[in-house]
Amino acid sequence: MERLEFTVSPEQAGRRVDVVLAGCAGDLTRSSLQRLIAGGALTLNGAPVLKSCKLAEGDRVVLLLPDPVEPEAQPQDIPLCIVYEDDALLVVNKPRGMVVHPAAGNQDGTLVNALLYHCRGRLSSINGVIRPGIVHRIDKDTSGLLVVAKTDEAHQGLARQIAVHSMLREYRAVVHGSLPQESGRVEAPIGRHPVERKRMAVTARGGKEAVTHYQVLGRYQGFSYLSLRLETGRTHQIRVHMAYIGHPVAGDPVYGPKKTALAGGQCLHAKTIGFTHPLTGERLTFDSELPDYFQKFLSGLRPMA
């Protein structure tokens, strides 16, 4: 069972606990939240409380969240851009705006729905009925390449390569500002944001190891064009790490500046993927073009003198 746990900040003090929680537990409806509180799932400083209780600065709030019940994803006839396919796996170029697998608020229209239709249900079962075949993910607003497993054997072989950092995952991004070095390494643990559950953050407490390598490909007025390589693969890793060092991804609606429309979309693209085929042993590498909106934004920037 998951726990939502936080210490009340000065800004939250004096507000009702259910109102504060509604802003933190974004996946829950207000009625679901109230049922949890009524059932004793909420404690304040270790004691059960009512939803109308008002908070004081420094109070410790803990809400026990039930394990989600995952419905089985259904096939949908959605076009896919398939870069490579054989009996064991396929490589897909995901468009920006497509969610990888069903979740709260996105029950259909996802990559998994499209894969189930295309593969006639023949996908690895390791990640269950809601994420069949999914070995790794990229964000909804990130475009680019990811590999999908059709068999459990292929899934296990690909997952091992991710675990030992032998799978190549290279991205392109436009970020705000000018980085002081031509290349570098960001090593900072990433975990769930302590209050805003839909966000990730660099955090020592509960964070997992995360390493991102970057190289500057171009410098422009107000922006830099980067090549980034993942050594680990945490949720929102590149976006969190770039924001952490003061250079958020252009157009990032969560970790970037409030005015995100300037990029016409999030300028982050999974350009290259390379791995050893888990059945044949052949080393495969695939590359993809930057999407049109990304190229248009990049070409409109003014190079540094």
Show the domain range for 257: 165-274+287-305
Position 216 scores a pLDDT of: 98
CATH classification at residue 94: 3.30.2350.10
Q: What is the pLDDT of residue 264?
A: 67
Predicted confidence band of residue 104 (pLDDT cuts 50, 70, 90) = low
Look at residue 89 and tell me if it is in a domain: yes
Q: Give the residue, 66 or 126, on which the prediction is more confident.
A: 126
114 in the same domain as 76: yes
**Are 82 and 27 in a shared domain?**
no
> Is 127 part of a structural domain of the chain?
yes
- Helix locations, the chain, DSSP H: 17-24, 30-38, 111-118, 152-163, 237-244, 292-299
Q: What is the pLDDT of residue 300?
A: 92
pLDDT digits (tens, 9 = 90+) for 249-290: 999 989 998 765 555 679 999 999 999 999 999 999 999 999
Same-domain check for residues 141 and 86: yes
Q: Is the predicted pLDDT of residue 132 greater than 70, yes or no? A: yes
State whether 182 and 305 are in the same domain: yes
Q: Is residue 246 a part of any domain in this protein?
A: yes
Q: Same domain, yes or no, for 81 and 49?
A: no
d(CA 6, CA 60): 6
Average pLDDT, whole number, for the chain? 90
Q: Are residues 123 and 78 in the same domain?
A: yes
Q: Which amino acid, residue 291? A: P
| DSSP codes of every residue in 173-203 | EEEES--SSSEEEEE--EEE-SS-TT-EEE-
The residue written with tokens 């805003």 in the block is 196
Distance CA 281, CA 167 (A): 13
Helix (H), strand (E) at residue 270: strand 268-276
Residue with tokens 């009996």: 87
Asked if residue 193 and residue 159 are part of one domain, the reply reads no
pLDDT at residue 198 tops 90: no
The per-residue pLDDT for 204 is: 82
- Out of 7-11, 162-166, 227-231, pick the least confident: 7-11
pLDDT of residue 49: 84
Question: Does 110 share its domain with 21?
Answer: no
Average pLDDT over residues 79-83: 97
- How many domains does the chain fold into? 3
- Would you please indicate which residues are annotated as catalytic (active-site) residues? 139
